[in-house]
Structure 1
């Protein structure tokens, strides 16, 4: 990535991916009509049933390559400038953070966490995306966004109402899900009280401010009357 004159070594393949690379052509030949997803499932099943002695062959190859990779990385890092070394460290930090994020999302999906509530625009988008004008997804998205911006309040209202209904659905499902997580001892996945607090609607805020203003005027009037 331009951090040094020496090409950065590539990480070795895992034992499983070595098996996939070795056997994919044969599996494709036997299953010409299978999609890539179906083919990977077949390979994963074959790996699972592979005897430990045969898996060990791939594992030993991985260990050999990993040792070579360590030596190559040491030589690579030795000729980096301080700035290049810092850039490499930051890149590694971002990669690890991304992996943790992916693992966390995968875990939440497995635990059945409810899908977030959709906004009015997202509902409008999903209902009209296929029929929207545009040669690319980005063009369609831009067209629909412009259309949404020009829509009147009455035209947006059905979508906004659906969004409000979806919020209720989400909150109800989250309460049940969080109760289940507490039973499983996963309190770390439960939202904090601060996250659960909702912002007051604009009308409620306005009413509160009006009430405070009226109260203030009333107090001033009483004070003036007592002075008289």
Structure 2
């Protein structure tokens, strides 16, 4: 239900506040005097629906029953269109209901916050900051994908992994990656060279594509997406490129292993 409402909100160009996910304050609370009571999202008052989402929750059931052949996308567009065409006087009814619920919500939220310890309040604030940062990052990546930003070049180690991952030995992806990382470190320079050359070719591909893409962004007035001169790579010789790739490969390998391990936990 929440996911469906979120999709409907995006279609109408509106937003309803997401519910707050609350977690245990953990070690911070323990340090201030005993293990604190665990918090859950069910304990925190829920933010009231916006006027638009009230309209959606009221209309989507009857509309679905009336038009069972409609896809979810068509249903979203239909409801968004109906809302835009709704007379202001009828929209006001939903808005007044929202205001009434909002007053109740603020009272309940104040009472809820009053029972939190300073450590709990700090932990929840930090959780919200991380959640919002993650959401902004996701939206940014999605926007760049829609705008067709070229994929970043791969390193020699990345190419080596992609070619050998399936046949590598390991009971898990993390184990396979660790084994490939060790193999790469012990690989003779002559055997690394083809991968390093492919990486260099990919860098050239990326630079050509990113320059063309940035020119298009400039035409669209999106200078905020264009790299500054400091961010643009300096010209390098083949030797310095290989040296840099050899230096970075172990670090990239370790980061990839840690990322895979974290995803498996």
Q: Same fold (TM over 0.5)?
A: yes
User: Is the aligned partner of 1:91 residue 2:127?
Assistant: yes
Aligned to 2:78: 49
Pairs aligned (count): 186
Q: Give 4+ residue runs of structure 1 displaced > 6 Å after superposition.
A: none
Aligned to 2:206: 170
1:128 is matched with which residue: 158, 164, 184? 164
Unaligned runs of 5+ in 1: 31-40, 205-228
Alignment RMSD: 3.7
**Residues 134 and 143 in structure 1, CA contact (< 8 A), matched pair in contact too:** yes
Aligned to 1:82: 118
The higher radius of gyration belongs to: 1
Change (3 A) 1:199 1:79: farther
Aligned to 2:44: 9
Q: Give the secondary-structure state (helix, strand or coil) at the position aligned to 1:134.
A: coil
- The one-character-per-residue Cα deviations of 1:122-178 (angstroms, maximum 9, x if unpaired) are 011111112222121111111111111111101111110000000000000011001
Aligned to 2:262: none
Q: Give the secondary-structure state (helix, strand or coil) at the position aligned to 1:196.
A: coil
Q: CA deviation at 1:69?
A: 5.3
2:155 is matched with which residue: 116, 119, 125? 119
Any residues of structure 2 matched to 1:134-149 within 5 Å, and which? 134-149=170-185
Change (3 A) 1:149 1:11: farther
Unaligned runs of 5+ in 2: 1-22, 26-35, 241-265
**Residues 48 and 105 in structure 2, CA contact (< 8 A), matched pair in contact too:** no
